[in-house]
Amino acid sequence: MADFRAITRQGLWANNPALVQILGMCPLLAVTTTVVNGLGLGLATMVTLVLSNGTVSIIRDWLKPEIRIPVFVMVIAAIVTAIELAMNAYVHDLYLALGIFIPLIVTNCSIIARAEAFASKNALLPSMLDGFMMGLGFTLVLVVLGSMREILGQGTWMADAHILFGEAARSWKVTVIDDYKGFLLAILPPGAFIGLGVLIAIKNVIDARGAKAVRQMPEPIVAGAEAEARA
Partner 1 sequence: MSRLFRTATSPHVTTSNSVTRVMMTVFLALIPGIATYVWLFGWGVVINILFAILVALVCEGGMLWLRKRPLKPFLSDGSAVVTATLLALTIPPLSPWWITLIGVGFAIIVGKHLYGGLGYNPFNPAMLGYVLLLVSFPREMTSWLPVITFSQHPLDFTQSLSYILGGHLPPGLTIDALSEATPLDSLKNNLRQGNTIAEIRAQLGLDDATSRMLSIIPIFGNFGGKGWEWVNFAYLLGGLFLIWRRIIGWQIPVAMLASLAGMSLIFYGVNGNAYVSPMFHLFAGATMLGAFFIATDPVTAATSVQGRLVYGAGIGILVYIIRVWGGYPDAVAFSVLLMNMTVPLIDARFKPRVFGHLK
Scan residues 123-182 and list those touching partner 1 (CB under 8 A).
181
Size of the site for partner 1 (CB under 8 A): 8
Distances (CA, A) of 153 to 60, 79, 181: 45, 34, 9
Provide, rounded to whole angstroms, the least separation between the CB of residue 187 and partner 1. Answer: 9
Cα 48 from Cα 121, distance rounded (Å): 18
SS (H, E, C) 131-169: HHHHHHHHHHHHHHHHHHHHHHHHCEECCCCHHHHCHHH
Q: Which is nearer to partner 1, 29 or 71 (CB)?
A: 29
Choose one: 31-39, 94-102, 184-192, 221-229; the region binding partner 1 (CB under 8 A). 184-192
Which of 82, 85, 184, 206 forms a contact with partner 1 (CB under 8 A)?
A: 184
Helix axes 35-59, 109-117, angle to 10 degrees: 30
Least separation in angstroms between residue 202's CB and partner 1 is 14
**Residue 184 CB, nearest approach to partner 1 (Å):** 5
What is the closest distance, in whole angstroms, from the C-beta atom of residue 120 to partner 1 in the complex? Answer: 40
77 lies in the binding site for partner 1 (CB under 8 A): no
Binding residue for partner 1, selected from 85, 185, 202, 211, defined by CB under 8 A: 185
- Three-class HEC string of 18-37: CCCCCCCHHHHHHHCCCHHH
Q: Which is nearer to partner 1, 29 or 51 (CB)?
A: 29
Stretch of residues binding partner 1 (CB under 8 A), selected from 28-36, 106-114, 132-140, 187-195: 187-195
Binding-site string for partner 1 from residue 189 to residue 208, where x marks contact by CB under 8 A and - marks none: -x---x--------------
Residues that bind partner 1 (CB under 8 A): 181, 183-186, 188, 190, 194
